[in-house]
Amino acid sequence: MNKQVEIIEQDILLFDGVCNLCNSSVNFIIDHDPNSHFRFAALQSEFGQKKLKELGYDTKEFDSLVLLSQGKVYKKSSAALRIAKKLNGLYPALYVFMIVPPFLRHWVYDIIAKNRYKWWGKRDSCRIPTPELKSRFVEA
């Protein structure tokens, strides 16, 4: 799952732009990322679609967040735990769950991903960042 990508200074998180849980997660990351380490793009955006295609991923199914970090690609729980590792507060301690075999971590992630619209709902369109946050979002 660690495909190579162009190395970019900041990590880029591709997320489901119409998912309420995903959008809340992006807000959470922004609030706990005081050094603005992460940039964001919806999987449905032009940039997100281009990256998915480059990586050989399905451009229609958005069942996982995708983290582009230091030339590598991480998905599902591996991406979530790597994100937690770079947040402030106690969240980096969650990285200890990397010792859990990926098939178990991803299984839990898949249950949440499969039910995210039912449990948290979805939007009609992707989020539009506020002017203050626009620099944190990648455009095509």
The string over 75-88, giving b where at least 16 C-beta atoms fall within 10 Å of a residue's C-beta and e elsewhere, is bbbbbbbbbbebbe
pLDDT (tens digit, 9 = 90+) per residue, 39-81?
999 999 999 999 999 999 888 888 889 999 988 999 999 999 9
Dist. CA 112–CA 6, nearest whole Å: 30
Domains of the chain by residue range: 11-135
Residue 102 confidence (pLDDT) above 90: yes
Percentage above 70 pLDDT, the chain: 91
Q: What is the pLDDT of residue 9?
A: 66
How remote is the C-alpha of 46 from its chain's centroid?
A: 16
Please provide the average confidence, as pLDDT, over all residues in the chain: 88
